[in-house]
Amino acid sequence: MKCHVLILLLIPATLLLGCSEHSLPTTQSPVITDTSAPYQPGDNIPALDYMKHNETYNAESVIPPQCYTKTDGVNNPCYACHQTDTTDHHRPNQMADGNLQGAYEFSDLGAKNHWKNLFIDRTHLISGISDDVILDWINQDNYSEFIKTQQANTDWKGEITPIKNLAYPEKAFNALGIAEDGSGWVAFNYKPFPSTFWPTNGSTGDVMIRLPSEYRQQQGVYNQDVYLANLSLVELTLKGLKNISTPPLNEKRIGIDLNQDGKYTTIQNIKVRSHYVGDAQSPLAYQLYPEGTEFLHTVRYIGVNDNGTIFNAPRMKEVRYMKKHNFKSKQELATSYYREAKEKAFENLPQTLYLGDAGINNSFGWTINGYIEDGQGKLRPQHKQELAFCNGCHKTVGATYDQTFSFARKVTGAAGWGYIDLKSMTDVPNKGESQGEFLTYMQRVGGGDEFRQNQEMLMRWFTKDGQVDIKKVTSATNLYELITPSPTRALALNKAYLSIVKEQSYLFGRDATLGKARNVLEYIDDSQQPLKPNHRYVWDMQLAWAKQ
């Protein structure tokens, strides 16, 4: 906050706190009268007022909350993002940041954990919310109204991404994951990233991909065979595979003998080739999406059916959007990585390129935008300070593929086209490993979440002496059994997040924790023990689906 020498007046604090239902108590206190800085340093300022008065709360918001986990030298959740795998010299991701595993190499500003929502016990905040109230809340569709509002706003300059019935996936997509409304969006079945995206830790979600129109058409006309072939080719090049299975593809409709057997037939396997098909005709680029690729990611409440089944609730906490507005080659990306490294070497604070309604530019060719609930539960555009948070994962971390996570984790081939279904997947190993990924993660982390505070996961999958019960974990029939919460925990997590919504305190953290975090550092200092060398790992987020 800026420090000004200003005239102070005694006025009720509530005059400045009308933005939130959970405002500070009404007290008489000195308040700065200058509208550019209405608070004194140290005041307990609501998140909305930082944005209202254009004062930066956390210039290091690219450091996610999970990076402040207390490792005690042995518990390592860091490896899932920070990687130094140099075996693939052709890989465009040149971050090589495995040295950050448990090292706490933060700037002076970043040494303070600004995610103070982690340290709030929300028990008293959720005690007055009944199960009926929260169930009614999460079962409402807030996406359809959001799209109508965007479409009616003639001043809106950002993207509009409607998918009819998206709140109800069984209506929105066919068996192959293709949107029924003809929008070109395609849902795919992927393994959730450990462990923030496990339902047991607060949210459900899904991801859809859309390629530009020329990748969906043959001579200007939509062609499903062309589209599925190109989606499969994107998967091949991103994962570095030579061939994969596909839904049935009619080579005659595509106009290419894809399996090179000298005739046009219906095939169910495709080999990597030099160029995309249909009207696209552009070359494949190793581990890079074509220009114009879009992703839509919804973060949802945890749905609970009458019989206790967990599902993706209709109500969305967030709608996240990415578009590859500019293709960058491996060489051009190297320049971006170098620029980022140079900024850090000179101890410059992170820069976020804000594009107004269009969101932010991550400087690696992607535009990122996001929408989040307002105090009444309606989706609203995120403020630039809230959007800066996105760069923490979608800019420079060593684990990503072309700055993304989910598509590299898609069930490979034909079985992976369709809406996410945790019951259809088992805990397969990562590429190059033999043991289940989630089992390995729990062993390395020492818990069922980064913060080691999910008591239900500890009771389900760990022994009394704190070790993972390997036999029990490996006997789980599917991912649903492994990573979904009990109905009681699901409703409590939903209520905890609703309290954040009512506060509009996203700048202070979006994690729906039930109690105050115990294994999270509020300040980083030299006394913090780094991870021991034998607790650091080389890892690939891709999965060995053949072992399912």
CB 408 within 8 Å of CB 539: no
Q: What's the CA gap between 90 and 92, in Å, rounded?
A: 6
Q: Give the C-alpha separation, 141 to 145, whole Å.
A: 8
CB 335 within 8 A of CB 134: no
**Is it the case that residue 454 has pLDDT exceeding 50?**
yes
Residue of 434, 366, 426, 433 whose CA lies nearest to 394: 366
Q: How far apart (Å, rounded) are the C-alpha atoms in residues 350 and 367?
A: 17
Beta-carbon contacts of 54 under 8 Å, excluding residues fewer than 6 positions away, are: 36
Which residues on adjacent β-strands are paired with residue 380?
372
Cβ pair 474, 436 in contact under 8 A: yes
Residue pLDDT, tens place only, 308-359: 999 999 999 999 999 999 999 999 999 999 988 888 777 788 888 999 999 9
∠ CA 420-422-425 to the nearest 5 degrees? 105
In a 13 Å sphere around the CA of 380, the CA atoms on its Cβ side amount to: 13
pLDDT of residue 8: 31
Q: Per residue in 318-327, is it b (16+ CB within 10 Å) or e — as a string? A: bbbbbbbeee
Q: How far apart are CA 139 and CA 132, in angstroms?
A: 11
pLDDT band at 7 (very low <50, low <70, confident <90, very high): very low
Per DSSP, the three-state class of 285 is strand
Give alpha helix (H) positions in 222-309: 224-239, 251-254
Let me know if 482 is exposed, middle or buried by CB neighbors in 10 A (0-12, 13-18, 19+): buried
Q: What is the chain's mean pLDDT, rounded?
A: 91
Distance CA 364, CA 347 (A): 20
Question: Tokens in use for 279?
Answer: 């009207």
* Tokens encoding 63: 């450091």
Amino acid 29: pLDDT: 28
Does pLDDT of 33 surpass 90? Answer: no
Q: Which of 15, 416, 356, 83 is nearest to 231 (CA)?
A: 416
Give per-residue pLDDT as tens, 384-396. 999 999 998 999 9
SS (H, E, C) 483-525: HCCCHHHHHHHHHHHHHHHHHCCHHHCCCCCCCCCCCECCECC
Residue 132 has pLDDT above 80, yes or no: yes
The CA distance from 443 to 381, in Å, is 38
Give the Cα separation of 493 and 203 in Å (integer). 8
In percent, the amount of the chain with pLDDT more than 70 equals: 92
Please give the angle made by the CA atoms of 69, 74 and 77, to the nearest 5 degrees.
45
The mean pLDDT value for 254-264 works out to 92
pLDDT digits (tens, 9 = 90+) for 193-213: 999 999 999 999 999 999 999
The answer to whether the Cα torsion of 385, 386, 390, 392 is positive or negative is: positive
Say yes or no to pLDDT of 302 above 70. yes
What's the CA gap between 422 and 445, in Å, rounded?
22
C-alpha distances (whole Å) from 196 to each of 169, 200, 205, 296, 335 are 22, 9, 11, 18, 31
Q: What is the DSSP string of 118-164?
A: GG---HHHHTT--HHHHHHHHTS--HHHHHHHHHH-TT--S-----T
Is residue 18 very low, low, confident or very high in pLDDT (cuts 50, 70, 90)? very low
pLDDT digits (tens, 9 = 90+) for 368-384: 999 999 999 999 999 99
Q: CA-based diameter of the chain, in Å? A: 86
Write out pLDDT tens, residues 395-426.
999 999 999 999 999 999 999 999 999 999 99
Mean pLDDT over residues 118-131, rounded?
94
Q: What percent of the chain stands above pLDDT 90?
A: 84
How far, CA to CA in Å, does 432 sit from each of 239, 413, 429, 543? Answer: 14, 19, 8, 9
pLDDT reading at 31 higher than 90: no
